């Protein structure tokens, strides 16, 4: 099953979405809008704009949950919705912990849609949420994205946020921009905290 999910994610992230995407992009994929207010090496302080996401919460390990959550969301954008419409892939694929062994996985809905026009999902576990404008601190890195690596990067970012006199209000969130078939040295990953 893990190989099937890895293959699906690889295919989705190897072919960019349609033309006319608005806002930020990565390798041709639309991304949530943000403005960089401060950058120091791989760390950034961002003002993030509001955006609509589809999300699902999955129980299990972090690694298994992102695979299962992405599988459900990929089914939706591949046409598993009320109109059968295919929706362009966006990046990153965010993941955040919601308690003991519970993880929420999200995909941004392209900005061409609104909450009124986005097709309803066939899978009742999918929810639509409008993420409000917020400030985030983010730390980018390439390479592997195992639990230990993510914990080290989150601690690095915590220290940077504290040094800037900011307060963490939520997170960490993990952002994955590239499919699992991408060479680790070519991957874009981020850990982020909501701050004030």
Tokens representing 150? Answer: 């993510």
Q: What are phi and psi of 168, to 5 degrees?
A: -80, 130
Q: Whole-angstrom Cα distance, residue 27 to residue 78?
A: 20
In the chain (196 residues long), the average pLDDT of successive 10-residue segments reads 44 38 74 97 97 98 96 98 97 96 97 96 97 98 95 98 98 94 94 98
- The answer to whether the predicted template modeling score (pTM) of the entire model surpasses 0.85 is yes
In terms of Cβ atoms closer than 10 Å to its own Cβ (0-12, 13-18, 19+), residue 51 is buried
Beta-bridged to residue 90, according to DSSP, are: 30
Structural domains of the chain ordered from first start: 2-195 (3.20.80.10)
Gyration radius of the chain over CA positions: 16
pLDDT at 5: 43
């Amino acid at each position: 099953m893990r190989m099937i999910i890895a293959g699906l994610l690889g295919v989705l992230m190897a072919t960019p979405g349609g033309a006319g995407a608005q806002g930020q992009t990565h390798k041709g994929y639309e991304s949530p809008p943000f403005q960089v207010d401060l950058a120091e090496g791989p760390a950034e302080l961002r003002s993030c704009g509001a955006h609509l996401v589809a999300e699902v919460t999955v129980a299990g390990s972090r690694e298994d949950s992102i695979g299962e959550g992405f599988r459900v969301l990929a089914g939706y954008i591949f046409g598993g919705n009320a109109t059968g419409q295919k929706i362009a892939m966006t990046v990153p694929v965010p993941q955040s912990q919601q308690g003991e062994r519970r993880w929420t996985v999200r995909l941004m809905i392209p900005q061409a849609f609104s909450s009124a026009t986005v097709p309803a999902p066939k899978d009742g576990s999918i929810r639509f949420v409008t993420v409000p404008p917020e400030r985030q601190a983010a730390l980018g890195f390439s390479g592997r994205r195992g639990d230990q690596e993510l914990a080290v990067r989150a601690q690095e970012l915590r220290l940077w946020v504290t040094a800037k006199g900011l307060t963490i209000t939520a997170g960490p969130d993990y952002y994955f921009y590239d499919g699992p078939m991408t060479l680790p040295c070519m991957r874009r990953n981020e850990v982020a905290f909501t701050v004030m």
